[in-house]
Structure 1
Amino acid sequence: MEKQYYYAYSQYLKDKYGEKVYKLPVNLPVTCPNKKDGKGCLFCAEAGTGFEASDSSVSVFEQLAASRTKVEKRYHAHKFIAYFQNYTNTFLPLDRLLGYMEEASKVEDIVEISISTRPDCIRQDYLEAFYEFSSRTGIEVSIELGLQTVNYHTLMEMNRGHGLAEFIDAVLRIAPYHFPVCVHMILNLPGDTMDDAEESARILSTLPISMVKLHSLYIPKQCELYDKYIRGEIEICPKEEYLNRLTEFIALLRPDITVERLFSRIPEKDSAFSNWGNSWWKLTDEWKALMEEKGYVQGTKYNYLNGAALNRWEI
């Protein structure tokens, strides 16, 4: 059996639902408050995220039904997650968002709806409505929060439009409802260091989150960061540095947190820079070799909470 260096998302889904479960991407007709206020995040492309989904003008039911048919045929899947993935889904008026959720619930074998959003777009009335929906339909609701880094200086440099406080507030507001929370992180944003990667693992491990989705920085064409990249105004850390950051992040991460992804996956034609010109699976093999060399698995260095200094000095 292959050594498990981290708690993989595929295993988490098997543990939770008893079998393989596949995400079906959905694009809704929504934007982002950061784009309403200005130009948005420096690394955000015009299309937002969601390279795999249909156009947002196609109904939610049609998007899911089409994806379900393909995935079921190819992987013999029987359970699915409707993934509302593009832009900031809770920036929709609540009644419209609930309407899309109801539409998704009508697709056969949908067991969960995953809602991607921003830390500054979590509010009590939305959470109450999600709880009522889940209780009534029996469909799990999970929430994906784009944080990217705990370094608030970098958040400002990337024009994220929020800081660390908004993220902590969002996680703590979600916690009483027990919705699984997945946090998106980029461990090699320009200006960030190994210290930021390590502190990211510590902060996430301290909070009631369930999952983390790691992205190595990719630079889409037609975004502000692309212009800076072309002009040579930003520095991207070498591949070896990212791999080292990733090993330390995983070693510090609370062992029960699920890791959904380690590297970005984006069509080459859509990016000016991605994964140092390597495939994600090749990078994964290099990372595993480094984990083995260091003697790490997830949580190896998770020893810094609950009065760590008292424990170290046996007081």
Structure 2
Amino acid sequence: MNVNNFRYNIYSRHLINKFGQKVYKLPVNLPGSCPNRDGTLGYGGCIFCDEQGSGFDALPNTLSVIEQLRQNKEYFRRRFNANKFIAYFQAFTNTYLPPAQFADNIKCAAEEADIVGISVSTRPDCISEEYLDILSRAQAEKNIDINIELGLQTVNYHTLKKINRGHTLAEFIDAVLRIHRRQFEVCTHLILNLPWDNMSDVIENAKIISALGTRYVKLHSLYIVRGTELGNMYERGEFEIISMNQYIRRIITFLEYLDPNIVIQRLVGKGPQNEVLFCNWDTSWWKIKQELERLLEAEDTWQGKKFDFLNGKALKRAWPNSIN
């Protein structure tokens, strides 16, 4: 079965093993944009993205990096008795900034007390050597753990075009290779219930990020916000959302094909509270997670059960006793 006899590689346990205690992410919500909004690559952004740029569950972006970190630290200390934290630059595209501004944001987080890690959320087409240099210097100076979260959403390049993502699979592969050369870890974001993807795409998602050596993965369940292009399409009846049971089945299949060493940061996402047309089948995210875990146990399956497609799969089947 999976690492430590769990059905999947759980993020909270991974952090305890890595840092010796529980570690909590502190969201940092900064004003920004992305090249798919301002005309560099396109306008309007991804068809599912709202005006908050996924920063809805965070403090106001008018607060500085330091103010947000300190307020969030105080909250987590009171609620969870937390002592160690990861600064998570969450909303919009956090490397789509002038280099000096990006460097200042990273420096502020790295110098804050009790911050043991920095997580930077960005797009695959917004990773360059100059920005990786900034992160490398911060890591060397402060001996701090750094990882980069890349929004891919799907490996299906036809769907990427459909959702107006503004990049293809090639940019994601390039970004992962560049990041790995700097010894940073990658977290890949995926949406497993995009209307134009099927189970073959789900499996290919797992295979590609496994082959590339992604360290973490975040699964989002698609939510639809009123006023977005996706929201307009939904209200016009231009597509259907798969059922909750079908979504759970996709997660199970995804986990079965996934490298068991990849850590699962999230299995089910959630959307903003206001102006949502669809989110998680009107079901609490934790109930979906509970049903998923029940089925994993009932079906005696686990992350990596079908992870047999790398290192010369055909050779291993043809001459199983001759391949080390």
Q: If the length of structure 1 is used for normalisation, what is the TM-score?
A: 0.97
Partners in 1 of 2:245 and 2:104 — Cα distance? Answer: 46
Deviations 1:131-184 (A, max 9, x none): 111100112211000000000000000000000000000000111111111000
Partner of 1:45: 50
Match for 2:161 among 146, 156, 159? 156
CA displacement at 1:227 relative to structure 2: 0.7
Q: Which stretch shows the higher mean deviation, 100-109 or 82-91?
A: 100-109
* Backbone CA RMSD of aligned residues: 1.3
Q: Which amino acid aligns with 1:93?
A: P
Partner of 1:238: 243
Partner of 2:37: 35
1:162-173 matches, cutoff 5 A? 162-173=167-178
Matched, 1:62 2:86: no
CA displacement at 1:223 relative to structure 2: 1.0
SS of equivalent to 2:241: coil
Q: Which amino acid aligns with 2:163?
A: M
SS of equivalent to 1:25: strand
In structure 1, the gaps of 5 or more residues are none
- 8 A contact 1:268–1:274 mirrored in 2: no
Partners in 1 of 2:134 and 2:205 — Cα distance? Answer: 30
- 8 A contact 2:25–2:86 mirrored in 1: yes
Partners in 1 of 2:262 and 2:5 — Cα distance? Answer: 18
- 8 A contact 1:142–1:181 mirrored in 2: yes
In structure 2, the gaps of 5 or more residues are none
- 8 A contact 1:105–1:139 mirrored in 2: yes
- 8 A contact 2:55–2:91 mirrored in 1: yes
Matched, 1:21 2:23: yes
Partner of 1:253: 258
- 8 A contact 2:106–2:135 mirrored in 1: no
- 8 A contact 1:214–1:264 mirrored in 2: yes
SS of equivalent to 1:81: strand
Q: If the length of structure 2 is used for normalisation, what is the TM-score?
A: 0.94
Q: Percent identity?
A: 48
CA displacement at 1:3 relative to structure 2: 6.5
SS of equivalent to 2:70: helix
Match for 1:83 among 85, 88, 95? 88
Partners in 2 of 1:43 and 1:307 — Cα distance? Answer: 38
1:217-232 matches, cutoff 5 A? 217-232=222-237
Partners in 2 of 1:285 and 1:47 — Cα distance? Answer: 29
